[in-house]
Chains A and B, each alone.
Chain A
Amino acid sequence: VKIERVRIEQFGALRDFDTGSDPLPSLVVIYGPNESGKSTFFTFLGSMLYGFYPASRDAHPYKPWTGTHLEGEATGVLDTGVPWEVRRRLRSSPWGRLKRGTADVELRNATLPFVDHVPRDVFSKVFSLRLSELVELDGNTWSVIEDRLMASLVRDDVRLGREVGGELRTEAQRLWRPDNRGRPRARELTNQIRDLQEQRRIAEARDDAVRTAQASLVESRVERAELDQRREELSELRRSLERLVPAQRRLTEFDAAHEDAADADSLEDLPSEPLHQIERWSEEEGRIRTRLEGLEARALRLQEASANPDRATSALLRDADEIRARSADFDELAILRARLEGSEQDLAALEARIDRAQAAALLPTAPGAGPAWRDQFVALDPERVRACVQEARSARERLRAQVAEVPRTPTPSPPLQPESTALSTWTPVGALVAGIVFLGVGSGLGHMAASAAGGALLLFGMLGLGVAWDRSRRPQALTVAEPRAAQVAEHAQSVTALRREAEAAAEGLASLLAGLPVRPEILEAEDALGLAALLELPGLLGERRRRQHEGRDRRARLDGLEADARGWLMRVDGQVPETPDELAKAARSLGGRVHQAQGSESARDQARRDRELVRNELGEWTERAQELATLRTVLSDRLGRLGDGDEREGDRRVRRMRTAARRLGDLGEALRRDFGAPATLRADLETFAAAHPAQPLSQETLDRTRGALEGLARRAEELSGRIRGLETDIRHLEEQPSMARIYSEIETLSQERDGVRRERDRLELLANIVELAEQRFRDRHQPDVVRRGGEYLSRITDGRYVRLVHAQDEHSESLLLLERGDGRLVGLSEALSTGTREQVLLSLRLAAADHLDQRGERLPLCVDEVFVNWDRGRRDRGLELMTEVAKDRQVFVFTCHPEVAERLATLGARVLSMPT
């Protein structure tokens, strides 16, 4: 590609810049001082070839200060001679158009198609050589140069292969290393796995320990089970022995007792103590004999006592019932007599009462009155009399009260004062009451004196009341005021009426008592005693009549009975008493004799009965004595037989047999209670003997069994402790991490380690790929570059260094050697001057540019002040080299040095001065 004209309308500081219509030559010098726009010009060239970058006006570093768009164009010809013209503009978006030959295409911001074999960034790095890049090579080794060179051959978006490869390898080495350096992850994992393997071994040992412990546990449990079984068997044996050994002993005792008590049943009829019983019987027999003697004597006495009575006694006894019956009659006679005498006394007392009543109530003439009067008196109704007396008294009282109500003057009069008397009204009343009391007492008690006193008092009282009443009837000396006439008249009428009533009542009473010698004062006055006597008198008279009749009847009956009794006595006892007392005495005597006879008869009867009893008792006792004698004889004989003639020995034998029998019973009962029925026990013993032929049923066996059980118990305890210990051990062992868990962790870590190793291998492989790719890249580019670079270097150094040599040291590190004209190889790192290293780099960059576009259009090369550090000879040769290079590609040399511009101008370059 050759650029023949450049027109810059606006690009950075350059505006309306035009290289002119004359086509630019292959070698162009852009001359101008610093900051004059040389770099701007170079960037513009790149933009024309590759488009604006960045493609944003605002972000573009060469945005015009005026803020307008960037725009320009370039024309030229291709290596094939085809002309081309490109115009680009960057406003809000890039625009571009390319004319190539007859073709006219829209570019927008695309790279010109004939330069895209070299990317933009490669073009900017390889085809633009600046002094700074060469200066920075000071002290660098070939590796740096190589990197820079290689980097310059690629685009900016790719990192250096060496860098990426190193990065991958570093990462890989962090994961795994074949050597023992560092602490890669795989090694850490290996160490962890190793630790876990150790834990695994421990866990396996623990597992073995668990197994061993478990086996021991099982063994111990089996032994314990066997031991328990043995203990159970021995316990069963012990229980059997504990039951059967004493049972057997007891059974033996039982059997011995059974043998001892073999005929004890035949002694059941014997007394408990036969000999003693014989003695007791003898003693009892003796006592019975003595008693029999006493009974016989008594029987004799009783026989005598029961002899028959004499004739008189027999007669009395014969008539005893009649006599007893008559005794009652005599008793009745006495009673009747006593009653008769009592009636007579009562009648006398009644007579006295009647006399007193008559004295109180009747006139003194009365005692001489005849029987008609008495009959009339007896018929008198006392109640009617009492009513009439009461009526008469009431009438008088009303009259007296009316009289006392005589009308009075207004002047109060002194109260009515009765006339004072020696005998007050209250005195007869008291006598009347006392008389009634005495009369009642004397009548009730039959006391004549009291009755008499009572009658006297009653009479006195009645008399006193009569006197008082009489006084009251007489006019009184009253001091009264004169009543008013009407009132007095009315009062007089009332008094009159009342007086008539009183008189009528008195007449009624008089009519009732007509013919009777009643003392009138007891009817008119307040004579209570008299009135009471009057009222009592009919009753008393009636009573006296009744009693008189009754006394006569009793007397008659008594006389009859006494006559009959005398007749009977005469007949029975031959005596006739005269007086009642004699009669009673005779009767009593007869009764006493009958009683005595009857007593004797009772004694005889009792003696007879006693005698019979004694006889019976005598029989009983005699029979008993005989029985005892028989018993004694029989028992004595039995004892004699049992004792072989010795009664006492027989008794002892009986005792022994009985003791054995009792013991047999006790033993049997205890045996059954403690061990069950003997038959069952014998079966058990036989069963035991059959089941344990080697174990005699004895205390020794029992003791031995107990000893064995104790030993087994101790062993069982030991085993239990061991089992508990083993279980604890196993539990503790199993609480620790198990083999399975450790295996799992090992497996997990192993898998992770495998993954880490695989990842390391992958990263290492990628690193190798990257490095191999870079090696290929180097191999593809480097030989030609180095060869061409050597040629350029030889031209510049004028044969001082004839070529460049690429080699590797013992560490496979790349080396660049300079072969001098004498064949000596000089390392780049050896002391070379700055100018020489810059010349090496310029040579390699020129070679790289040749290498990069050798298969396409040759792109223009820009060289910016690279010669300033060179000595004159090499600078001239360098400038001449530019002329050589410009034969194949267009070269733009940027410089501010006029001698450089002039020298190149002399070599055929066209000098473009930048505007200042």
Chain B
Amino acid sequence: MVDLSLNEEVDAFVIAGDLFDGEKLSFATERFLLEQLSRLNQAGISVVYATGNHDAPTRARRGAALQWPANVLVAAGPEPRRQTVFDRDGTPVGHITAAGHATDRESRNLSAGFLRPPGNDPEVAVLHTHASSAAGAARHGRYAPSDVAGMARAGFDYWALGHIHQREVLSEQPMICYSGSPQGLGFGEVGPRGCLVVDLKSRRTPDVRFCSIAPLRFEVLRVGGIEEARSLDAVVRRVVEHWEDARRMDPADPGAEWIVRVELEGPAALAHSLRRTEDQEALQAELQAVLDAAHVERSVSRTQVPVRTSDYIARGDVLGEALRLVEELRGGAEPLDSVAPDDLGGLDISGGGERDAYLRSLLQDASGELLTRLLREAGQP
């Protein structure tokens, strides 16, 4: 991003929180960070950094104690701080207002404290916030909650938001954007990752351009259509076709590496075979060999024998009972607790809603799995 900023000759560089995670700030990272910020300083680029819940001063004491370069304005509290931005000639070209999380449990609506001062220069607001209308809001902690309408009323020309890791434009008038995480952190953060370059020559219609810069890309490759694939080779070929199609649509940035999870799904002639560990390992080894990726994982749990659930759900046997039970569980006719494991290893249960949601998520593809498990494989005694 620093290279990009220098190349683009931007006037300002904003960081909308979670620059680092608590005390997980190594000295090397710290040094690298300060070196890069110093490069911006040398180029005369202002840096405005608003703390988030992960790097709030109470949680990230190391970060709070950093000796920032002179060009860095750190907003680490709820009171908005305003920074005038100058171009290379020293002419003011706009202002940036930022507020930060003082603690890692900030519950106030910090956007309420933002108010555009009078003037005609572009005004930018920077905030680490949980915008309730954001698509990925449900997957993130509700810290410093805000709403788009409230932010829009504040009168700023552009809102640079952080917290939600998925890039999203919440509003175009005014422009309110989550840039998303610059680097995906796992398979939950797939797709191109990077930053937004915003041109505010036109205050009312800022030009927002996404630049993909993540050196490591996570990708979940869901591969269906393997109903007729009767060998692992055929499955691999199908995966490669999907991979090539995906890369044609979304080519990698030069130099970027891939971490890929291949999720086989849907009817599969080899559904039973794919449930066997040795076959899964063979498949993974083959995929690792043919995909140009740093690491490949596989998931076969969403495959199922190539039959329709409707053909079996009415049967009076155990399979029919199980399929009907799944539907009842999904529909709520049968309480999830009736089938919930006594101990849930994958969820730190804190409330019924989350637990039910978690259990309900486990029911995804349960019918196919049950069909595959319960239906006897041809030739199986």
Q: Per-residue 0/1 for B138-150: is the Cβ within 8 Å of any A Cβ (1 yes, 0 no)? A: 0000000000000
- Complex: A164 Cα to B369 Cα, angstroms: 11
The answer to whether A154 and B24 touch across the interface, beta carbons within 8 angstroms, is no
Residue of A nearest to B341 (CB): A764
Complex interface: stretch among A28-36, A484-492, A767-775: A767-775
Give the residues in chain A near B21, CB-CB below 8 Å: 743
The answer to whether B325 and A769 touch across the interface, beta carbons within 8 angstroms, is yes
Q: Per-residue 0/1 for B15-34: is the Cβ within 8 Å of any A Cβ (1 yes, 0 no)? A: 00000010110111100000
The answer to whether B24 and A739 touch across the interface, beta carbons within 8 angstroms, is yes
The answer to whether A765 and B346 touch across the interface, beta carbons within 8 angstroms, is no
- Residue A272 lies at the interface, judged by CB distance under 8 Å to chain B: no
Main secondary structure of the interface of A (DSSP, over half): helix
Interface residue tally of chain A, by bracket?
A: 35 or more
The answer to whether B344 and A768 touch across the interface, beta carbons within 8 angstroms, is no
Q: Per-residue 0/1 for A60-104: is the Cβ within 8 Å of any B Cβ (1 yes, 0 no)? A: 000000000000000000000000000000000000000000000
Q: Per-residue 0/1 for B347-359: is the Cβ within 8 Å of any A Cβ (1 yes, 0 no)? A: 1000000000011
For B362, B374, B375, which residue has the most chain A Cβ atoms within 10 angstroms?
A: B374
* A87–chain B nearest beta-carbon distance, Å: 29
Give the residues in chain B near A161, CB-CB below 8 Å: 318, 322, 374
Question: Which residues of A in the span 166-219 have a Cβ within 8 Å of any Cβ on B?
Answer: 167-168, 172, 175-176, 178, 186, 203-204, 207, 210-211, 214
Count of chain B residues with a beta carbon within 8 Å of a chain A beta carbon:
44
- Complex: A161 Cα to B24 Cα, angstroms: 48
Q: Per-residue 0/1 for A731-759: is the Cβ within 8 Å of any B Cβ (1 yes, 0 no)? A: 00010001110010001000100111111
* A149–chain B nearest beta-carbon distance, Å: 13
Give the residues in chain B near A795, CB-CB below 8 Å: none
Known contacts A178-B342, A207-B26; A766 and B347 CB within 8 A of each other:
no
Question: Which residues of B in the span 109-123 have a Cβ within 8 Å of any Cβ on A?
Answer: none
- Residue B376 lies at the interface, judged by CB distance under 8 Å to chain A: yes
- Complex: A768 Cα to B186 Cα, angstroms: 30
The answer to whether A153 and B317 touch across the interface, beta carbons within 8 angstroms, is yes
Give the residues in chain B near A155, CB-CB below 8 Å: 315, 317
- Complex: A634 Cα to B381 Cα, angstroms: 155
CB-contact partner of B325 in A738, A739, A773, under 8 A: A773
- Residue B326 lies at the interface, judged by CB distance under 8 Å to chain A: yes
The answer to whether B345 and A757 touch across the interface, beta carbons within 8 angstroms, is yes
- A-B pairs with CB below 8 Å: how many? 142
The answer to whether A158 and B374 touch across the interface, beta carbons within 8 angstroms, is yes
The answer to whether A159 and B325 touch across the interface, beta carbons within 8 angstroms, is no
CB-contact partner of A154 in B317, B340, B346, under 8 A: B317
- Residue A263 lies at the interface, judged by CB distance under 8 Å to chain B: no
CB-contact partner of B28 in A164, A204, A738, under 8 A: A738
- Residue B329 lies at the interface, judged by CB distance under 8 Å to chain A: yes
- Complex: A175 Cα to B346 Cα, angstroms: 11
The answer to whether B345 and A178 touch across the interface, beta carbons within 8 angstroms, is yes
Known contacts A734-B28, A768-B339; A761 and B346 CB within 8 A of each other:
yes
Give the residues in chain B near A210, CB-CB below 8 Å: 27-28
Give the residues in chain B near A426, CB-CB below 8 Å: none
- Residue A762 lies at the interface, judged by CB distance under 8 Å to chain B: yes
- Residue A157 lies at the interface, judged by CB distance under 8 Å to chain B: yes
Give the residues in chain A near B318, CB-CB below 8 Å: 150, 154, 158, 160-161, 770, 773-774, 777
Give the residues in chain A near B91, CB-CB below 8 Å: none
Known contacts A154-B317, A159-B375, A773-B322; A759 and B343 CB within 8 A of each other:
no
- Complex: A211 Cα to B30 Cα, angstroms: 10
- Residue A776 lies at the interface, judged by CB distance under 8 Å to chain B: yes
- Residue A258 lies at the interface, judged by CB distance under 8 Å to chain B: no
Question: Which residues of B in the span 158-192 have a Cβ within 8 Å of any Cβ on A?
Answer: 185-187
Give the residues in chain A near B343, CB-CB below 8 Å: 178
CB-contact partner of B373 in A156, A164, A178, A765, under 8 A: A164
Give the residues in chain A near B366, CB-CB below 8 Å: 762, 765-766, 769
- Complex: A207 Cα to B29 Cα, angstroms: 11
- Residue A760 lies at the interface, judged by CB distance under 8 Å to chain B: yes
- Residue B338 lies at the interface, judged by CB distance under 8 Å to chain A: yes
Give the residues in chain B near A772, CB-CB below 8 Å: 322, 325, 338-339
Give the residues in chain A near B358, CB-CB below 8 Å: 761
For B21, B341, B347, which residue has the most chain A Cβ atoms within 10 angstroms?
A: B341
Give the residues in chain B near A768, CB-CB below 8 Å: 338-341
Give the residues in chain A near B315, CB-CB below 8 Å: 155, 158
Known contacts A178-B342, A757-B345; A769 and B301 CB within 8 A of each other:
no
Question: Which residues of B in the span 274-294 have a Cβ within 8 Å of any Cβ on A?
Answer: none
The answer to whether B370 and A766 touch across the interface, beta carbons within 8 angstroms, is yes
The answer to whether A158 and B342 touch across the interface, beta carbons within 8 angstroms, is no
Give the residues in chain B near A766, CB-CB below 8 Å: 366, 369-370, 373
* A121–chain B nearest beta-carbon distance, Å: 10
The answer to whether B339 and A157 touch across the interface, beta carbons within 8 angstroms, is no
Give the residues in chain A near B321, CB-CB below 8 Å: 773-774, 776-777, 780
* A502–chain B nearest beta-carbon distance, Å: 142
Known contacts A154-B317, A155-B317; A770 and B345 CB within 8 A of each other:
no
Give the residues in chain A near B345, CB-CB below 8 Å: 175-176, 178, 186, 756-758, 760-761
- Complex: A35 Cα to B267 Cα, angstroms: 46
- Complex: A470 Cα to B279 Cα, angstroms: 167
CB-contact partner of B362 in A158, A167, A755, A765, under 8 A: A765
- Complex: A219 Cα to B251 Cα, angstroms: 49
- Complex: A743 Cα to B26 Cα, angstroms: 10
Known contacts A762-B362, A774-B318; A769 and B339 CB within 8 A of each other:
yes
* A747–chain B nearest beta-carbon distance, Å: 8
* B360–chain A nearest beta-carbon distance, Å: 10
* A767–chain B nearest beta-carbon distance, Å: 8
Residue of A nearest to B30 (CB): A211
Residue of B nearest to A776 (CB): B321
* A216–chain B nearest beta-carbon distance, Å: 13
CB-contact partner of A740 in B28, B185, B340, B363, under 8 A: B28
Residue of A nearest to B23 (CB): A204
Give the residues in chain B near A168, CB-CB below 8 Å: 373
Residue of B nearest to A176 (CB): B345
The answer to whether B370 and A762 touch across the interface, beta carbons within 8 angstroms, is no
Give the residues in chain A near B316, CB-CB below 8 Å: 153-154, 777, 780
- Residue B319 lies at the interface, judged by CB distance under 8 Å to chain A: yes
- Complex: A408 Cα to B114 Cα, angstroms: 176
Q: Per-residue 0/1 for B296-340: is the Cβ within 8 Å of any A Cβ (1 yes, 0 no)? A: 000001000000000000011111011011100100000000111
Residue of A nearest to B364 (CB): A762
Known contacts A207-B27, A770-B318; A759 and B301 CB within 8 A of each other:
yes
- Complex: A751 Cα to B317 Cα, angstroms: 38
Give the residues in chain A near B317, CB-CB below 8 Å: 153-155, 158, 777
CB-contact partner of A757 in B322, B346, B369, under 8 A: B346
10 contacts between A and B (CB under 8 A): A150-B318, A154-B318, A155-B315, A161-B318, A738-B28, A739-B24, A740-B24, A759-B346, A766-B369, A769-B339
Kindly list 16 other residue pairs between chains A and B, CB separation below 8 angstroms, not including A176-B345, A765-B366.
A154-B316, A154-B317, A158-B317, A158-B319, A161-B318, A161-B374, A172-B341, A211-B27, A739-B26, A739-B29, A754-B346, A761-B358, A766-B369, A770-B322, A772-B338, A780-B316
Interface residue ranges, B against A (CB under 8 Å): 21, 23-24, 26-29, 185-187, 301, 315-319, 321-322, 324-326, 329, 338-347, 358-359, 362-363, 366, 369-370, 373-376, 380
The 7 A-B pairs with the shortest beta carbon distances in the complex, nearest first, are A757-B345, A758-B346, A154-B317, A773-B322, A178-B343, A773-B321, A757-B346
